[in-house]
Structure 1
């Protein structure tokens, strides 16, 4: 209260951190209870904002050469990983829309942070980097990724706009320079048919559960000095019968989901994951350790798929 002198002037917060930080703090606070503010709280809000903004920068940078009118891939033709990511994104967006209807803003901010840090930064975007950076520029593999990123980017900006108005408007003008404002648009009420069935969802739940366990094994191997990056690793998995079908359905693309240079799966009576250091040579371009590095005499430092992506028809890739 003013009488106790324990108030913070909004003008001071705005001049120190910017108006967006003040707006984000308001949006992140449950207004049904006591509103707390301090330098420590504001520092956490700044970190949250930085995480959201960095996610947006990635989405914008990797769709800069993408024109949805001529480059977009039809929903059912998207790679499985992209359809999975869109299905997860739509579930978050549905929660955002429901929260806005209830005028509950703090769950939106919390879920937006989770979406950016865990679903995008911690999984999808991390896996996607290889395809975005190594696939041929106009290949179906890269265009599928960009289609999903553009859809996520557009809807995410619309749901951000009521809270992070300046950031959303700034990003929207980069994408649509001729558009009046993001605030003349509404979020999508209908979701494209991605062909996502309960079986599809269950399959990716299995794949991601193995990936979560593998990340722990990779960190242990890294701490023990056995590997540096995860691409120095090859993984051998003994999977339970039901899980085996889910993992092997991705074929060689499974290694891209795991961000390892190889992933081998066998059936077992119990779930086991073993990480070993790859004995193969490192590709100078994609940094994967592969047996076919140097198989092309003209491009001795490249693996087979990089040669195909740069000088041939492109790699055969369909899932991740």
Structure 2
């Protein structure tokens, strides 16, 4: 799902850059980082990163996807924040890495996001049910259980 969302961001940012709409590109990147990454993807994947085995398949797949998104975000920021992007690139790739501005942009493609709208609709219903349970006295959502038909 996150890679699919990143692909949409990539298309929007590259189109904005082609049209010299730098502000639109930066707003799209900010919104993606703030909403899609922070409040959704990171919240959904933190347990597998912290709790799964270091060599576990789910954990490694999540790390690969996060690395691809990090590389792509840095490349997208490079045209307007070259020094910051270089610093982030070297932190990710190592101190000996060449400047990100000399790296070729390689678009990420992903075609596996078809079923996610239904998952997010179910999540929204579950979150509403948890809020109702909290208003009726449950202090922590971990003290509850959900049955998904």
TM surpasses 0.5:
yes
Aligned to 2:145: 234
Residues 217 and 165 of structure 1: is their aligned pair in 2 closer, same or farther, counting only changes over 3 Å? farther
Aligned to 1:160: 77
Unaligned runs of 5+ in 2: none
Shift of 1:151: 0.3
After superposition, the C-alpha distances for 1:269-317 in whole angstroms (9 at most, x for unaligned) are: xxxxxxxxxxxxxxxxxxxxxxxxxxxxxxxxxxxxxxxxxxxxxxxxx
Bigger fraction of residues in helix: 2
Whole-Å separation in 1 of the counterparts to 2:33 and 2:142? 24
Unaligned runs of 5+ in 1: 1-83, 237-264, 267-320
**Corresponding position: 1:206 with 2:123:** no
CA contact (8 A) 1:157 1:168 kept: yes
Q: How does 1:68-83 map to 2 (within 5 A)?
A: none
Aligned to 1:137: 54
Residues 211 and 184 of structure 1: is their aligned pair in 2 closer, same or farther, counting only changes over 3 Å? same
Aligned residue among 108, 122, 135 for 2:25: 108
CA contact (8 A) 2:4 2:111 kept: no
Residues 175 and 217 of structure 1: is their aligned pair in 2 closer, same or farther, counting only changes over 3 Å? same
CA contact (8 A) 2:78 2:86 kept: yes
Alignment length, in residue pairs? 148
After superposition, the C-alpha distances for 1:80-104 in whole angstroms (9 at most, x for unaligned) are: xxxx211111111111001000000
**If you compute each CA radius of gyration, which structure gives the higher value, 1 or 2?**
1
- Structure with greater contact order relative to length (CA < 8 Å, sep ≥ 6): 2
CA contact (8 A) 1:173 1:179 kept: yes
Whole-Å separation in 1 of the counterparts to 2:81 and 2:132? 39
Aligned to 1:180: 98
Instruction: Tell me the TM-score normalised to structure 2 length.
Output: 0.89
CA contact (8 A) 2:75 2:100 kept: yes
CA contact (8 A) 1:227 1:233 kept: no
Whole-Å separation in 2 of the counterparts to 1:109 and 1:224? 42
Instruction: Tell me the TM-score normalised to structure 1 length.
Output: 0.43
Q: How does 1:1-320 map to 2 (within 5 A)?
A: 84-176=1-93, 177-189=95-107, 191-192=108-109, 194-196=110-112, 200-201=113-114, 203-228=115-140, 230-236=141-147, 265-266=148-149
Shift of 1:224: 3.8
After superposition, the C-alpha distances for 1:109-128 in whole angstroms (9 at most, x for unaligned) are: 22112111211111111010
